Amino acid sequence: MPQHTLTVAGVTVDTRHWIGGERLASATTFTDISPIDGAVLGEISRGTPAEADAAVAAARAAFPGWAATPRTERARVLHAIADGVDKRLDELAIVETTDNGALLRSHRRGVMPRVAHNFRFFADRLLALGHEDFDTRGHRNHVRWDPAGPCALITPWNAPLMLESWKVAPALAAGNTVVLKPAEWTPLTASLLADIAARAGLPAGVLNVVQGYGSEIGDALTSHPDVRRISFTGSVPTARRIAASAAPHLTPTSFELGGKSPLLVFADADLDLAVALAVEQYDNAGQVCLAATRILVQEPVAGEFVRRFTDRAGRLRQGDPRDDATDIGPNIHPAHLDKIDGFVRRAVAAGARAVIGGHRIDSRYYAPTLLTDVDQDAEIVQEEVFGPVLTLQTFQEEAEAVRLANGTRFGLAATVATGDPARAERVTAQLVAGTVWVNCFFVRDLRAPFGGARSSGVGREGGDWSFDFFCDLKNTVTAPKGWQDHG
């Protein structure tokens, strides 16, 4: 008798798909392992195109009912999902940490409350959504946000439930139905979300979860004629494949992709603050799309910056992410660690110097690394490593700093440390990035647009921008009674 559940720290997780309000097992499975110690967590249903099709069919069948559900009722259900997340917050936190290796204390205090907040925020935003009617020669223009249809939502492993809820909440609020495909390295919390949503009263088929490899079921979702929106967070090569697969049906896509963001440290900055911002980039073992992995420091303070940085980074504690004292946990997978190590080895072979780190600790942990003596066109400066690896370059003048900062194909975020407000304004105006922080990092408000320029993404989500993406906007022009105007 095949087993369809696994248990993590006493929490039972169903390992099957969730399609049309029912659990469905695949004929084959894949193995889910914990990055903390390599322990096998269990066998997960390995989706096939047939199951992806079934999930889209369920989403299509449920669409008319959910689209016609009054906004107030949709908002009520989303609030109930948020309540369900809050109720299971500790369970979600430990399951997520076990599955992806990020810090338990972050999941408890920051990430899971944010997941609940995503549902509440988009529920409330839905109720406020509207555009003032306007008049054209006596004709009334009325703008509506009509639901678009079934949406395919595809997410990565570095912040699984956080990124899933960031897409699921606005898609459902907008009146759409959803097929969610979580990353194969972190399948568990999506399954728990399905349980929570069902318990909250979300009708069957409105949210479907299909597990499996993107390479095996991705195409079936993204080329499906009934899928009306694709929201994807992940890597640039996968985005290219999805764009090609979505092209025949011109399915609208929203892409949130990788980055190689700069941290600009000017000589007039509060140096301790700048160092703290720099060390923060090792969070989640460097597996953060927004991470400012390229530190650019003005020449006169570079030596002192490196000294203080080395001191502070040296106090970071690396270890089990379930331990509250830990600052840096494991990387997601030994295969990913190999990739990180490859980047560093090639950089060092090309002349880079590891001021700290530069090596793996074992098959799961990589030492926090700072590389100097790197050229702007070096691979380590141009390509996303997605590990605890930072580079440091120096500059003389503001214009040079901006040139270096903008000198990659990415444009997700940038951080500026300066004590001069006029400089801050000048520099931020010139930076190519979806988000710029001045003397801070990772302050994110759900009302703000979020996304990347250049290869870091296509489109913006967040606030009303999410509704713009997930809806078909319609303008209705109504003539006043008795009006005969064909002009």
Contact residues: ligand NAD, CB under 6 A: 154-158, 163, 181, 183-184, 213-215, 218-219, 222, 233-235, 238, 241-242, 256-259, 289, 384, 386, 412, 452, 457
Q: Which of 289, 384, 461, 471 is catalytic?
A: 289
CA 281 to chain centre: 16
**Cβ contact 289:158 at 8 Å:** yes
Residue 203 has φ and ψ, to the nearest 5°, of -60, 155
Q: Which of 91, 184, 256, 384 is catalytic?
A: 256
- For 45, the 3-state DSSP assignment is strand
Q: Considering beta carbons, is residue 25 or 154 the nearer one to ligand NAD?
A: 154
Overall size of the chain counted in residues: 487
CA–CA gap between residue 367 and residue 362 (Å, rounded): 9
Q: Considering beta carbons, is residue 85 or 289 the nearer one to ligand NAD?
A: 289
Least separation in angstroms between CB 95 and ligand NAD: 18
* Token reading at 419: 């004590």
Q: Look up 280 and say whether it is catalytic.
A: no
What does the longest C-alpha to C-alpha distance in the chain come to? 80
Least separation in angstroms between CB 293 and ligand NAD: 10
Least separation in angstroms between CB 252 and ligand NAD: 16
Q: Considering beta carbons, is residue 200 or 328 the nearer one to ligand NAD?
A: 328
Neighbours of 210 (CB within 10 A): 28
**Cβ contact 473:229 at 8 Å:** no
Q: Considering beta carbons, is residue 224 or 308 the nearer one to ligand NAD?
A: 224
Least separation in angstroms between CB 306 and ligand NAD: 26
Least separation in angstroms between CB 468 and ligand NAD: 17
Residue 480: partners with Cβ closer than 8 Å, 6 or more residues away: 138, 139, 140
* Token reading at 227: 């899928």
The residue type found at 117 is H
Q: Look up 289 and say whether it is catalytic.
A: yes
Output the CA–CA distances (angstroms, integers) from residue 78 to 55, 83, 99, 191, 354, in the order listed.
Answer: 21, 9, 25, 17, 48
Q: Considering beta carbons, is residue 177 or 261 the nearer one to ligand NAD?
A: 261
Q: What dihedral do alpha carbons 362, 366, 367, 368 form, nearest 10°? A: -170
- For 37, the 3-state DSSP assignment is coil
Least separation in angstroms between CB 31 and ligand NAD: 15
Q: Considering beta carbons, is residue 191 or 238 the nearer one to ligand NAD?
A: 238
The residue type found at 433 is A
| Residues with catalytic roles | 256, 289
